[in-house]
Every structure is written in structure tokens, then in C-alpha cells.
Amino acid sequence: MIYTKTGDNGTTSLASGDRVRKSDLRIETYGTSDELNSYFGWLGALLAEWGEQLPPDEPLTDVTVHISQVSTIQNKLFNLGALLSLAPGEWLANADVAEIERWIDAIQTELPPQHAFILPAGSQVIAAAHICRTVTRRLERLMVRLSEAEEHADGDPEQKTQTTIAIRWVNRLSDYCFVLARKCTILQKKSPVEWKK
């Protein structure tokens, strides 16, 4: 049965088994992680649709690579949700941070110098990448607030280490979204929409 009625009083269970108010900062944080995962699902679908519409002589390599990266991100975001829900285990590692940094570095080698602020516009794919970027930034802010709120509380040292790594991973993720949006601008043969004061 999809409905359990256990949350009718405004509480929900963490993976640790503890019940907390649905207004709790931890719930807001991993709810935002879930929201972000949905946006990445949308971005991946848009990338796939775009790839299907490319002419036969247009190389698919870049689009396929980015679809694969988005799929990896979605799985890591599920891991992040488990971490934020206090599920035991190692959910994110320094290798995950390094992986996104490699993706960013690879994309940046293909980008021209940026001389102006860029608006989140140009195509559905570009705008979706920017939506992912801005929701990622919101998630990062919530994670930092949550970390600060629990900084002096007694807790599992491993959990705190995982949280530190997770905040770094989310920070890099927003950078990835930004360079991906710029890369898609080039792949779609569009001009960046620059801010005009």
C-alpha cells in the first residue's frame, strides 16, 4: 500500500529509525536532494531527446558522455539522500569528488574564455542545466546550515567526515552544471545569452 498514514501527524522516519518533524532542517535538506535528482532526470531526458534529433552525420559522442554522467550523478544523489537520512555506511568518497573534477576539467578544455555574465537561457537543455545548477546551490546552502547546526553535537565521527566530503561533492556538482550549460551552448551551435545591464 502506497499510503501508510504514519506521517499524518507531521512526522517522518529517518533511515536511522528516528522520527522527526517534516519541517526539520534535515528533512528539508534531503528533500531538496530528491528534488535535484528529479531535475537531473529531466536534464538527462532532454539530452537524450536532443541526441535522437541530431542528423546522422553529427557525432553523438559528447551527448552520450553527458547522458552517462547525468545518470551517475542521479545515483550519487540517491547515495547523498541516504547519507542525509543518517543511513549507516559510506555513501560518498573523495573519489566521487575527484570524478566530477575530472569531468569539469575535460569540459573546460573545450570552452572559450568567458568575458561576460551568462543568463540561464538559450535552449531547453541549457536552461535545464542552469536549473540543476541553482537547485544544487540551494542544496549546498542547506547542507552547510545543517552541518553548522550539528557542529557541536555529539555524533558519529565517520558521519561528520562523510558530510564534509558530501558538501565538497555538491559544490563541484554546481560547477559541473555551469560548464555543462556552456558546453551545450557550443554543441547546439548557439551564442551565449549575455547579461546586459
3 pLDDT band, cuts 50/70/90, is low
Look at residue 90 and tell me if it is in a domain: yes
- C-alpha cell belonging to residue 14: 529517518
Look at residue 15 and tell me if it is in a domain: no
183 pLDDT band, cuts 50/70/90, is very high
Does pLDDT of 7 surpass 60? no
Tens digit of each residue's pLDDT (9 = 90 or more) over 21-70: 766 898 999 999 999 999 999 999 999 998 888 877 676 788 999 999 99
Which CATH number covers residue 127?
1.20.1200.10
The CA angle 19-77-104, to the nearest 5 degrees, is 150
Q: Which residue in the block uniquely carries the three cell numbers 536552461?
A: 127
Look at residue 6 and tell me if it is in a domain: no
CB distance 63 to 51 below 8 Å: yes
Residue with the bigger pLDDT between 17 and 7: it is 17
Look at residue 10 and tell me if it is in a domain: no
SS3 33: helix
Q: Quote the CA–CA distance of 11 and 6 in Å, as a whole number.
A: 8
Question: Domain containing 169: what range?
Answer: 21-187
Q: Is 197 exposed, middle or buried (0-12, 13-18, 19+ CB in 10 A)?
A: exposed
Look at residue 9 and tell me if it is in a domain: no
How many domains is the chain built from? 1
Residue with the bigger pLDDT between 138 and 113: it is 138
SS3 21: strand
Look at residue 131 and tell me if it is in a domain: yes
Look at residue 40 and tell me if it is in a domain: yes
Look at residue 7 and tell me if it is in a domain: no
Tens digit of each residue's pLDDT (9 = 90 or more) over 68-96: 999 999 999 999 999 999 888 889 999 99
Residue 95 makes CB contacts below 8 A (sequence gap 6+) with none
Residue 13 is given by DSSP the state E
Does pLDDT of 100 surpass 90? yes
Residue with the bigger pLDDT between 121 and 74: it is 74
